[in-house]
Structure 1
Amino acid sequence: MAAFGSYLKKHSEALVKDVGIEAACELTGKSKATLGRYYSHNAEHADRFMPIDAVAALEEAASYPHVTSALAELKGISLSYNESRKNTEDREGAVNADVIMLSQRFAMLMAEYNQSIQDGIITMNEAKRMLKETAALQHVLIEMKLHLEDETV
């Protein structure tokens, strides 16, 4: 536990600071002292970690899912975080817009692939750029699926 304990505590602290200590107390129902113990590196608090319901409440209010991403990294999992939260109320013409966005994103992925494969080797940075485009393409497909489901209801 010591190997990842410090890492999780560091990210728990970042989460609380992202939200703000006062807001974090309000969201979790915990005191400042209790929240502080969750990310304290003192030996007496080494076995104390933030409960998952508190993490979920704070990450909902935070600008970034600090603890969730730390847990994923510890397990070797890559998460795709989309910080844009579009207004889902205006759906008129959404499928048409999705088709256009889908074709644009696919074109960007193919352009990235074409540029990356020119020398016959795909470097780490090129792979990362293609992965980013693939994740964006996947996001558009999910949005399109949701819009299509809305139209069939």
Structure 2
Amino acid sequence: MSKVGSYLKKHTEALVKDVGIEPACELTGKSKATLGRYYSDHEEHSDRFIPIDAVAALEEAASYPHVTGALAELKGIELTFNGSRRNTDSEGGVNSDVIALSQRFAMLMAEYQQSIEDGIITVNEAKRLLRETTQLQQVLIDMKLHLEEEAN
């Protein structure tokens, strides 16, 4: 088995164990044996990998996106994990997203104004700006998902 395959199987196992085998079976609709094959390092299962829809379902329930993180690492991409989860899904749709977008943009501009006041953006100020930019990006992603949902 390739190093990449082995690496992905280890992270698949971590994901399944994070969620728990019984809940993982319920979330994916797969049996314990099938899930086991997805992370087995035996030669007869070397070409079997977990489907992406199963990864998405499990990572929604997991404490960390194990497989997504592994894929990102393999491509040299750095992910920022935002552990905050909303209590409810955003049901307001695009209208709520537009309001959230304008609020987040205003917060980014306020942070920028405060940071640039002395003509120098310090490391801490840059980190705060980066955090605000990431929050703004999340609102845009939510908006994109709502638009795609309405288009279908």
TM-score range, shorter chain: 0.5 to 0.7
The alignment yields a C-alpha RMSD, in angstroms, of 3.8
Deviations 1:110-153 (A, max 9, x none): 6397113xxxxxxxx99777544432232345567899xxxxxx
Contact map agreement 2:15 2:66 (CA 8 A) in 1:
yes
Unmatched 5+ stretches in structure 1: 117-124, 148-153
2: CA distance, partners of 1:46 / 1:144 = 39
**CA offsets per residue over residues 92-121 of structure 1, 9 Å max, x none?**
x955665343222344456397113xxxxx
Structure 1 residue runs of 4+, over 6 Å off? 125-129, 144-147
Unpaired runs of at least 5, structure 2: 147-152
Relative to structure 1, is the Cα distance of residues 87 and 54 closer, same or farther in structure 2, using a 3 angstrom cutoff? closer
Q: Is 1:9–1:39's contact at 8 Å kept on the other side of the alignment? A: yes
Residue from 101, 107, 117 that aligns with 1:104: 107
Aligned residues: 139
Q: Secondary structure of 1:30's match?
A: coil
Look up the SS of the partner of 2:122 in the other structure: helix
- Shift of the alpha carbon at 1:27? 2.2
TM-score, scaled relative to structure 1: 0.63
Normalised to the residue count of structure 2, the TM-score between the two structures is 0.63
**Aligned-partner residue type, residue 85 of structure 2:** S
Which residue does 2:137 correspond to in 1? 138
Is it true that 1:88 corresponds to 2:87 in the alignment? no
Name the counterpart of 1:120.
none
Distance 1:126 1:37 in 2: 48
